[in-house]
Structure 1
Amino acid sequence: MRLLLLLLWAGLLPGNALFFEGHKDLDLPAGYYASEVLGAPSACACRNRCFVHLLCTAFTVHLPASGEVNCFFSLANVTTGMMKPNASSWTFCKEGCAAPAAPAAVSTTPGPRCTGSFVDLGAIGCYHFHEATMSFASAQSYCQSLNADLATPSSLDPLRQYLLDNSYTGEYWVGLRRPNGWIDGRPDDPSEWDAGEPNDSGPCARLRGSSNFKAADHGCDNSYKVICEQEV
């Protein structure tokens, strides 16, 4: 296993052309890690998962004396110290690992950019997931009552990945209408629609869990769950 880690570090394993840089006992900021824990049989399995996980830029491998392989991606594990460097840990990064910079001066800026129940999804913004079902118009009014609007992500893939990674199910209204596209003015992209969609079953669109949260059109009076987006 130590040899395997050395090969990973050196970028000598076959497969994807994107090699990971490896460092022993490196303590990275929490922002490098995706919100996921993976019980894996090998460091290679963790590496492969990191390749396909949109939010994963690093993972830490811990080799306890028992010979098991523990691979960590989770922010929770960072905060509990499970990813902190120890005598048998290696950290691998997609695009180069940077040691933490010297502590910055104390900031006077207010706390997190997402308020209330909104979840920070990085580059695409802050999102609230409402599990009660309602019509499209009611969903938009509900979001506006939170000083937000129906979700209009600049890229749908990170939102879909979050829903999949966190085991969401069902169907969710988002701010997508036909024929005009996203309600913030962004045109819709054919890749955002499920196979066979749109099929002219209505002017409003929801993300459908049964199709990995790709979009499907439907009548606006139907009732679905809601995803709101807060402007940041």
Structure 2
Amino acid sequence: MSECCLRGFRWEAQPSGHETKLADNNCYVTGSNRKVAVMIIHDLYGWKFPNTRLLADHYAEEVDATVYVPDFFGGEELPLDILHEPTRWHELNLPAFILRQSKEIRAPEIVECAKILRSTHQRTAAVGFCYGGWGVFRLGERGQNLVDCISTAHPSFLEETEIDKVGVPVQILAPEVDPMFTPELKAYSNEVIPGLGVAYNYQYFPGLEHAFAVRGNPANAGERMGMKRAKDSVVHWLKQWLADQ
């Protein structure tokens, strides 16, 4: 696990959605389209992280979708006050935290939430940031019929076998500097996915680092432009594949 998964900035705005339940999971919900659903699988800062909820609000408005951000950490949270304090990162037992959020533990919850959305909406998609990247690939696996498309920015814990199995249109937003989505995984994705018979949108963000799309610094011109480009790209991708077919 790299320190890049902790680094970032908290954006200044107030989310406009509400909290409810999806399956047995607490969930942030925003938007009101009964036909179109987007599920966001959050990063290490969890379902309450304001930046993630603000992106959900943008997607809900700009895509015209109901956007769900379930809690996939079983009520655990990393303290937001350490976001800007690298000297305190040693206080976290991150390996133990990650072990409690393992794929074996969380994948069934992710799938169950997706099944519910699939049964209640005509079109569904999944977007994953960092930790959530592997999750959207699981939902997009061939034969699952859980989502109509997936998108991920700087995925963590993604494995080649999960890339091999993707069977829906897939978008990857890849920063130049990323210890989690390595150059080898970037190259593997770009070699394998075009041969899988699915639409593929790979976007490269030179000069930017892991977590930029959800935790970039708005005061930095390059990061601000990258965040906007990432947000607009996801919106365009979702609108393309969630429209009535």
Would you call these one fold, judging by a TM-score over 0.5?
no
Structure 1 or 2, whichever has the larger Rg, is 1
The interval holding the TM-score normalised by the smaller chain is under 0.3
TM-score by length of 1: 0.27
